[in-house]
Structures are given as C-alpha cells and as structure tokens.
Amino acid sequence: MKQDNKAVRETPLVIETRGLERNYRLGTETVRALRGVDLEIRRNEYVAVMGPSGSGKSTLMNLIGCLDSPTSGEYRLNGQLVSGLSDDALARVRNREIGFVFQTFNLLPRSTALDNVALPLIYAGRPKAERRERAMDALASVELADRMTHRPNELSGGQRQRVAIARALVTKPSILLADEPTGNLDSKTSEDIMMLFDRLHQDGQTIVMVTHERDIAARAERVVTLLDGCIASDNLQDPLRFPTLAERSSG
C-alpha cells in the first residue's frame, strides 16, 4: 500500500534503502539474509518490523544502525550516502544520528546508570558538566531520576532497558532503532516500555522497532513484514491507542 497523502510525502526522508543485500558466508555456503530491500522511512514515523525468525529483521536493523555494512545496495541516512563513509565518519553517524536499543540492553556492568547514559556524549566530545546534566535529563525522561547511581545488577530488567533507552536518546538522534526491546521482559514491564515509546513518538521521535508480537506492533502506524530477506508487506494502520500512564492516572 503506497502512501499517497501529500503531507506525508513532503515530510523529509530519514531512511532510504535501495536494493539492500547482506550475505553471510558460512564456510562454503552463503546465507542471503537480505535480498534487496527497498525501504523509505520519513521523519516522525513509527514503524514496526515483523517477520518470522531468520527473516532478516536484525540484519536490516543493524544495517540501518550502521553497525554492519551491506554486501550491496545503497543506504541513505538523512539524504547522506552511508556506504562510502570513512570509519571515523561512521562513528560520528552512530553517535549523532542513531540511538540503538538492544534486546539484551548491553549496558556496561560496572558503570552506574548515569555513566552508562553519558557514554555516547563522551564520544561526542561533550564536556563533563554537560554530559552529566544531559544524562540526568535523559534518565529523568525515562522516570529513573532516582536510580542514577545504581549499577545494572542493581536494576530490574525493565529499568535496565529504560537506562538503555535513555542512553539511545541522550544524543537526540534522528532515529531510534530498537531490536526486540521487550524480548527479554515480562508483559507488564513490556507494557511500560511500549508506553514510553508511544510518548517518545508523540514527542516527535522517529522510531523503528522489531517485534514478534502483534499487539506491540499494533501500536505503530506502519508495519513492515519481512520474509526470507525480502519485504513481504508494508502497511499503514491506525495505531491502537493506549492511554498513557499520565492519561490513565488523571482519567
């Protein structure tokens, strides 16, 4: 289903891929994890990526997040061709443009929540006072202002994922990528995280999220389904509206 709405068409593209392929060599065999993916994502979209296990969802997310390089095809981020970038330029893109949320949180185990969140700002070359302030703000925005000095092993799974989300957001990236962000969380905690995503989206954040669960995908405006490394369907939908925490407690 094509997007014909004029307003949508005029919104700038954040992500644009053309014939994106990614092969993995396993000994003599070649696994074609992605076989030519064309995908456009505009600013402030909320996209859920679905598909069976092994269909290439993570592979796609890693390419979009510049954590991996495609075997062939083009990838433009905010209009800039990523493929030809130098190592240092890529590091800069990861640092400034992309916030990546992993299924397994990937926090530094021996650092406090605050230090974990401030880490990307170190690589952004921000001074210490600013890092501290922005990391505190980011933690406050995921409702963890009171857990700043805790280390990951002193936090619950949901709290860890919120630290990871705060870390992804602290550099104000143009896109938030999340690969099964609730995959390691129970349904109650998942619900909290999804409400956080809803709110971020309402605040204007562009989000791409991989999920296996229909009811989580239902919150997005658009669902891209992968099958064997190809896009099988790409549907706009009316996102199911869930009351936010604030709405729930006030109403």
Partner 1 sequence: MTFGEAFRSALEMILAHKLRAFFTILGTVVGVTFLIAVITLIEGMDAYITDEFAGQIFGVNSVMVRRSPSVTISGDPEYFRELRRRPSVRFEDAEWLAERVETPGTMAISSSSGGQVDGPVGRSISGVRITGASASFFRVRSMNVEQGRAFQQQEDEAGVPVAVIGRDVADGLFEGTNPLGKTIRIQSFPYQVIGVLERQGSLFGISMDNQVIAPARSAMNGYVNPRGVLDEIIYQVPEPRLLPGAQVEIEGWMRIRNGLRPNEPNNFEVETAEASLSFWTQITQVMLVALPGLVGISLVVGGVVIMNIMLVSVTERTREIGLRKSLGARRKDILRQFVIEAGTLAGMGGLIGIGLGGALAALVAAVSPLPAQLAPWSVLLGLALGVGVGITAGAYPAYRAAGLDPIEALGHE
Ligand X SMILES: Nc1ncnc2c1ncn2[C@@H]1O[C@H](COP(=O)(O)OP(=O)(O)OP(=O)(O)O)[C@@H](O)[C@H]1O
- Report which of 237, 223, 239 is spatially closest to residue 39, judged by C-alpha positions: 223
By CB under 8 A, is residue 24 in contact with partner 1? no
Name which of 15 and 98 has its Cβ closer to partner 1: 98
The alpha-helical segments, DSSP class H, found in the chain are: 6-10, 57-64, 87-96, 113-123, 128-141, 157-169, 187-202, 214-217, 245-250
Give 58 or 141: the residue with its C-beta nearer to Mg ion. 58
Phi, psi torsion values for 156, nearest 5 degrees = -75, 165
Buried b (16+ CB within 10 A) or exposed e, 96-132: ebbbbbbbebebeeeebbbbbbbbbbeeeebeeeebb
The item of Mg ion, ligand X, partner 1, none sharing an interface with residue 31, based on CB under 5 to 8 Å by kind, is ligand X
Q: 106 is written with which tokens? A: 């990937």
Interface contacts to ligand X, rule CB under 6 A: 24, 26, 31, 33, 51, 53-59
**Which one of partner 1, Mg ion, ligand X, none interacts with residue 120, CB within 5 to 8 A by kind?**
partner 1
Nearest distance from C-beta of residue 157 to ligand X, angstroms: 18
For residue 26, what is the enclosing H or E element? strand 13-26
119-138 residues in contact with partner 1 (CB under 8 A) are 119-120, 122-124, 128
94 lines the binding site for partner 1 (CB under 8 A): yes
Residue 37 or 138 with smaller CB distance to ligand X:
37
Residue 54 interacting entry, from partner 1, ligand X, Mg ion, none, C-beta within 5 to 8 Å by type: ligand X
Residue owning tokens 């402030």: 44
**Chain positions contacting partner 1, by CB under 8 A:** 62, 65, 67-69, 87-88, 91-92, 94-96, 100, 102, 106, 108, 110, 119-120, 122-124, 128, 167, 171
